[in-house]
Amino acid sequence: MRRGQGTRLALLLAVLLVLLLGSPALAAPGTAAPRPTVDPAAPTPTAPPPEGPPQGSGPGGVTVGGGQLDTRGTVVVDGAPPLPDGLAAAGWLVADAGTGDVLATRDPHGRFYPASTLKTLTLLTLVHRLDPDTVVAGTAEDEAVEGSRVGMVAGGRYPVSLLFEAMVLQSGNDAANALARAYGGAEATVQAMNATALELGAFDTVAGTPSGLDVAGQSSSPYDLALVFRELVADPVTAAVLTTPFAQVPGVEGRSPGFQIQNENPLAGYPGGLGGKTGFTDAARHTFVTAAERDGRRLVVSVMGTENRPLRAADQAALLLDWGFAVPPSLGGVGTLVRSAADVPVPAAEDGAVPAPSAAAPAGVAAGAPPAADDDGPRGLWAAVLGAAAVAVVAATLTGVRRAVRRPAPARAGRRGPPAPGPAGSPSRRR
């Protein structure tokens, strides 16, 4: 073989190796796509996606809660009264918190930016992991946090129990940051939040901040917010936080007098209300999640991606609560709220392939990025086989080239390590 031909063949094989290893076709049938994750290196989103939010799914692409929820439109249980006028939100859901029946929904698995409704997941994740009597010292970072603040100051001393109330009642980003610090930092808290979401079956939810400040790839859905809020109202500890009418923030000598904060839930006066959480950012627009009880029946409602005109998110939620209580329980639902990830069916694998677990992708990998090789799964096996074969062919080719141009020499094995990871991104901003 002539040297030029051998070199060209080696290069061709190397290119084929790269294409094969990076090709989605290598993913065995039935293998789940990797879980989306945030991309802190990307620019902070400042508006909703012009093409609309991506649609989420469970392991292997299954629609969590049932096939009828695989829609970007509106579905309503058969036999229900007409939906109320004024439902302008891009995504919403109303469900029976007891039976789990989804009575009606619009784009239930749309992965919207959640804004401060994500604090419901922060509460659910940390409330039983932190001692309520632990005192957290305020920092300059708390004072300077972006967006809504309860008013923490450096040098102040705040019990964890008060910080939970401040985070919920006043949507304090400073309180969320302080709680994360008490748990071990923002990174550890976000990891715990994502683990909680997965355990709950909230596969559309990807937390990037403890407060809900916008970051590329962060998301939740009307379905997932309902899952989280149903858990909160069922737990006496978190249910009490949601309905706390006011709390007292201690003063700091020479810095800040003590003051009272009030619950800013706009549906605090709704009959049978069990609490609510608002949210707003430039990218999320207005979001809201709430629950109420009437005659022993509990409903949960979530509203995402709406403006405050003609109706606020909370007012739309109130309409959905009124409507939902008028729907006879005997009608069932168009889908169901799962109790945990164990209730989400995993599609049967084809051709003997084993579905990949729905695990969190490595930190820093952008949402929608191509799946990485998994050494423990079918893709990793194929990659290893093809990689070894291609390397062997390339090595043999290059050896033939060397033999054509010089005397044979003992072969020397070489190894090239993996490329160094790219630089980590910087944290993003906004409430």
What average pLDDT does range 39-58 have in this prediction? Answer: 95
Which pLDDT value is given to residue 7? 41
**Is 272 labeled as ligand-binding?**
no
Stated as kind and residue range, the H or E segment containing 106 is strand 101-106
Instruction: Convert the pLDDT of each residue in 60-81 to its tens digit.
Output: 999 999 999 999 999 999 999 9
pLDDT of 1 above 80 = no
pLDDT of 166 above 50 = yes
CA-based angle 155:165:96, to the nearest 5?
155
Q: What is the pTM of this model?
A: 0.77
State how beta strands 101-106 and 74-76 pair. Answer: antiparallel
CA distances to 1, 3, 14, 17, 220 from 402, rounded to whole Å, are 10, 8, 17, 22, 57
Which pLDDT value is given to residue 33? 59
| Distance in angstroms (rounded) separating the CA atoms of residues 171 and 150 | 7
What average pLDDT does range 46-69 have in this prediction? Answer: 96
Helix (H, G, I), strand (E, B) or coil at 305: strand
Catalytic residue positions, numbered: 116, 119, 171
pLDDT of 159 above 60 = yes
Smallest CA-to-CA distance from 383 within 392, 396, 374, 370 is with: 374
Instruction: Convert the pLDDT of each residue in 346-374 to its tens digit.
Output: 887 654 444 444 444 333 333 333 333 33
Which pLDDT value is given to residue 35? 81
What average pLDDT does range 416-427 have in this prediction? Answer: 33
Q: What are phi and psi of 74, to 5 degrees?
A: -110, 135
Which pLDDT value is given to residue 392? 44
CA end-to-end span of the chain, whole Å? 65
253 Cβ neighbours under 8 A, 6+ residues apart:
none
Which tokens belong to 185?
């930092």
pLDDT of 5 above 70 = no
